[in-house]
């Protein structure tokens, strides 16, 4: 196991559920001051006048150990009186807001309305949920994942939840990039002298990671940082662990394979961690110049998350 005192700092880039699992594993084995996590805000949207930020809340609830594990989003020990009351008023019900979850949306919406930046709101919520690592939104300005589909252009949640990922996707783009910047704390973390590695957690590359990498100037800043960039594959043996990744890759005419993941990141990644099931592709991937590491990357239990996090740290702190 890595000697934690000499780890240095790690910057994790995280999207939905898979990303949060690895950040949790890293949180469990690192000193709080050595770990920061950037969260995707491309899924954010306004609903019932509330600022909803699903990947932020998935990360907050997972790190605070209050997440609803079966559901994959929202909180456990939840009640649904608000949602039932909305239904009785004939309001839309496709996006379910639990009673405890509602407090998070109200807190965030009010803070934003009184002038806080999204970074400030996330720092406040982290403190309220007792989270010690630093959580940073990818940007304080709105960037939204939009999907061109056979039923029209949809904002992310209308594709993912309202239409249950059924529409056929022909293109994904991000609105707001012309006026968005990486969050200040994001740029500071990248410039941090003790930063040892940037870790792309196993999140959907198109929906959760691409919005981050599309931020103006960010790719260059990552390349210029000279830091080790470690990718943890969200694809195992040609199947996506969760969510619409596989369906999206098919519709975008991309093979659902770790080869595609390697191609997506080969310009910036120094290392890629793939599952042992894909070990046969390691040699081919290595031709791209990345160091390929095979291990069990399926995270079910906390032990899995800590073990994988330990292997990520070994790579992050490797001296060469
Ligand atoms: N996903 C659903 O499939 N149905 C829902 O009703 C739903 C509500 C919801 C409320 C708050 C929240 O933070 C997330 C919610 N999600 C729901 C999940 C959300 O769409 C996804 O977590 C992300 O946007 C994709 O990673």
Let me know: does 290 contact 262? Beta carbons within 8 Å.
yes
Task: Report if residue 14 sits inside a domain.
Answer: yes
* Whether the CB of 73 sits within 6 Å of ligand 1: yes
What is the number of structural domains in the chain?
A: 1
Tell me the pTM: 0.96
Q: Which residue pairs, CB below 8 angstroms and at least 24 apart, start in 278-284?
A: 278/233, 278/235, 278/236, 278/237, 281/257, 284/259
Task: Report if residue 160 sits inside a domain.
Answer: yes
Helix (H, G, I), strand (E, B) or coil at 229: strand
Residue in this structure with the two tokens 């079910």, named with its chain if needed: 300
- Give nearest CA residue, ligand 1 atom 23: 54
Task: Report if residue 120 sits inside a domain.
Answer: no
β partners of residue 199:
12, 230
Which of 72, 103, 161 to probe ligand 1 with, by most ligand atoms within 8 A of CB?
161
Task: Report if residue 291 sits inside a domain.
Answer: yes
Range of the domain at 277: 9-44+138-316
Residue in this structure with the two tokens 């899924």, named with its chain if needed: 43
Mean pLDDT score of the chain: 95
Two tokens, residue 57: 């809340």
Task: Report if residue 214 sits inside a domain.
Answer: yes
Which atom of ligand 1 has the smallest separation from the CA of 56? 13
Two tokens, residue 82: 């608000």
**Radius of gyration for the chain, computed over Cα atoms and rounded to the nearest angstrom:** 19
Predicted confidence band at 16 (pLDDT cuts at 50, 70, 90)? confident
pLDDT at 320 over 80: no
Task: Report if residue 68 sits inside a domain.
Answer: no
For residue 258, give the nearest of 228, 279, 243 by alpha carbon. Answer: 279
Task: Report if residue 249 sits inside a domain.
Answer: yes
The pLDDT of residue 3? 54
Task: Report if residue 90 sits inside a domain.
Answer: no
Which atom of ligand 1 has the smallest separation from the CA of 58? 13
The pLDDT of residue 6? 62
210 vs 202: CA distance, rounded Å: 13
User: What's the average model confidence in pLDDT over 271-283?
Assistant: 97
Percentage of the chain beyond pLDDT 90 is 92
CATH number (domain holding residue 289) = 3.40.50.10680
């Amino acid at each position: 196991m890595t000697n934690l005192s000499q780890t240095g700092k790690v910057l994790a880039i995280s999207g939905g559920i898979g990303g949060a699992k690895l950040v949790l594993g890293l949180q469990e084995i690192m000193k709080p001051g050595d770990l920061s996590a950037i969260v995707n805000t491309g899924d954010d949207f306004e609903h019932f006048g509330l600022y909803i930020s699903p990947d932020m809340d998935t990360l907050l609830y997972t790190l605070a150990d209050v997440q609803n594990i079966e559901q994959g989003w929202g909180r456990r020990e939840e009640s649904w009186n608000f949602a039932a009351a909305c239904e009785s008023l004939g309001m839309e019900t496709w996006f379910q807001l639990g009673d405890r979850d509602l407090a998070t949306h109200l807190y965030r919406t009010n803070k934003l309305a009184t002038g806080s930046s999204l970074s400030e709101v996330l720092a406040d919520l982290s403190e309220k949920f007792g989270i010690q690592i630093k959580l940073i939104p990818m940007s304080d300005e709105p960037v939204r994942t939009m999907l061109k589909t056979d039923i029209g252009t949809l904002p992310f949640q209308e594709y993912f939840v309202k239409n249950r990922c059924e529409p056929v996707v022909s293109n994904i783009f991000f609105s707001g990039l012309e006026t968005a910047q990486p969050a200040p704390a994001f740029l500071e973390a990248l410039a941090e002298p003790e930063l040892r590695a940037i870790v792309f957690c196993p999140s959907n590359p198109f929906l959760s990671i691409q919005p981050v990498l599309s931020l103006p100037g960010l790719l260059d800043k990552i390349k210029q940082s000279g830091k080790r960039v470690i990718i943890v594959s969200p694809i195992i043996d040609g199947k996506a662990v969760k969510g619409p990744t596989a369906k999206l890759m098919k519709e975008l005419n991309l093979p659902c394979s770790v080869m595609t993941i390697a191609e997506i990141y080969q310009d910036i990644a120094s290392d890629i961690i793939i599952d042992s099931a894909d070990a046969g592709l390691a040699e081919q991937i290595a031709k791209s110049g990345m160091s390929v590491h095979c291990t069990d990357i399926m995270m079910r239990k906390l032990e899995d998350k800590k073990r994988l996090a330990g292997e990520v740290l070994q790579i992050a702190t490797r001296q060469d």
